[in-house]
Structure 1
Amino acid sequence: MATVAEFTLSSERFPLGTIFAKLPDVTVYLERVIPDANGTVPYFWVRGTQTDSILEQFSEHPGVRDIRLVDSIGDEYLMRCQWVAEHDGVLDALLDPEVVLLSAIGTTQEWTFEIRGESRESIAKFRQYCHDHDVPITLTELHALRPLEAQNDLTEKQRDALILAFNRGYFDTPRRATLQEVADEFGISQQALASRLRRGNRRLIQNALIESSP
């Protein structure tokens, strides 16, 4: 049965995490990863800085080749680059055809990933690959994919996160609570909460606007 797993990885152990060395206030969302003859090519969104700063930061990394701007929306920039094989880390593991990247968000401390495997064995294989290649991921959630009609329902953690953030005024303008303040009430990291809110909002939009549209 298809299985969904959530895991975390320290930013310093993830290739894209190098952007935080000099740009600690940015947030990065990994969009997708595609294979390339000379390594892997990640596409990722960066929010909280300017394009020149992103290019400058990554151009100094020995593993990066040919980084470029693909698109921009407001203050968010979609970037792509070629990551050479010896610096791939978890990026290479995400190329496994039995694993689908659902979401990945990173801040200065850690990355939170959500992936879907064809089976529990696929997730186990992914974890073993990371272990064998010295990629210290920490599994935080594992559950079987629910039936088709329920796939877009929120998980309990996502529902609780959205309700508390709403009640505390995180979605108000101006905000009455910060992401960190809401995260502190759960006893989790800011990036873990941001990941839950992002995935929860995605499922709400898909369920309310996409699946219900004619």
Structure 2
Amino acid sequence: MATEMAFTVPAEDFPLGSIFENVPGVTVELERLIPHETLTNPYFWVRGAETGEIETEFEPHEGVADIRLVDHIEDEYLLRAEWVREYDGLLTALSETNLTVLSGVGTVDGWRFEVRGDTQEAIAEFRTHYQESSISIDISMVHALLPIQGDSFELTETQREALVLAYERGYFDTPRESSLEVIAAEIGITQQSLSSRLRRGHRRLISETLTTP
């Protein structure tokens, strides 16, 4: 059964965390990432930076071969990283256990990841991998994906929770009566994680209601 897990790691324990040494106020967000043997160039966003030379703000790290700027919009920068495949870190553990990274957001306070495995065994294998390595991980959530049938259009429990709470708090009203920050704090997750759940929930609802099979 497909299973999701959320966990945090210290800022310095993920290669891209080196930017926080020079620009502690930024947020780094990975694009959706499906690790496998051939994946070496994931994309990621840096938000809140005040410099156009964003590539130079990353300190050298043994897990990163190269970082290049792809595009930028005001203070948001899209970059691409090339990993050192021999570096035994978090991405290696994710790759070897075939887990999909649903979201990965980092700040100077640490990284929060949400990942999904096709089976519970994949999640268990990942946990065994990091327990045998030097990776420091704090797991905050593990649950099987149990689609809610009927009127919920097969939303996952976490997607439904996020959508319903956002609706009840007036997030979708005009003007808005609440914010991502407030709703995320109520659920106990980051704003980025809440935003990701809302996007996936919206996609599921549109798929089930507005498109033709």
Normalized against structure 1, the TM-score is what? 0.76
SS, match of residue 139 in structure 2: strand
Distance 1:178 1:100, change over 3 A: closer
User: Match of 1:158?
Assistant: 162
| CA RMSD across the alignment | 3.4
Structure 1: runs of 5+ lacking an equivalent: none
User: Match of 1:201?
Assistant: 198
Distance 1:43 1:5, change over 3 A: same
Amino acid at match of 2:101: L
Distance 1:86 1:71, change over 3 A: same
User: Match of 2:70?
Assistant: 70
Instruction: Figure out how many residues of one structure are paired with residues of the other and give that number.
Output: 206
Structure showing the higher strand proportion among its residues: 1
Distance 1:66 1:185, change over 3 A: closer
SS, match of residue 135 in structure 2: coil
Structure showing the higher helix proportion among its residues: 1
Please give the alpha-carbon distance, in whole angstroms, between the structure 1 residues aligned to 2:21 and 2:177: 28
Structure 2: runs of 5+ lacking an equivalent: none
Distance 1:170 1:177, change over 3 A: farther
User: Match of 2:144?
Assistant: 144
User: Match of 1:58?
Assistant: 58
Distance 1:178 1:154, change over 3 A: closer
Q: Report the CA distance between 1:171 and its aligned residue.
A: 8.8
Amino acid at match of 2:155: N
- Decide whether the 8 Å contact of 1:59 with 1:67 is kept in 2: no
Normalized against structure 2, the TM-score is what? 0.76
SS, match of residue 141 in structure 2: strand
Q: Report the CA distance between 1:59 and its aligned residue.
A: 5.4
Please give the alpha-carbon distance, in whole angstroms, between the structure 1 residues aligned to 2:9 and 2:19: 15
User: Match of 1:132?
Assistant: 132
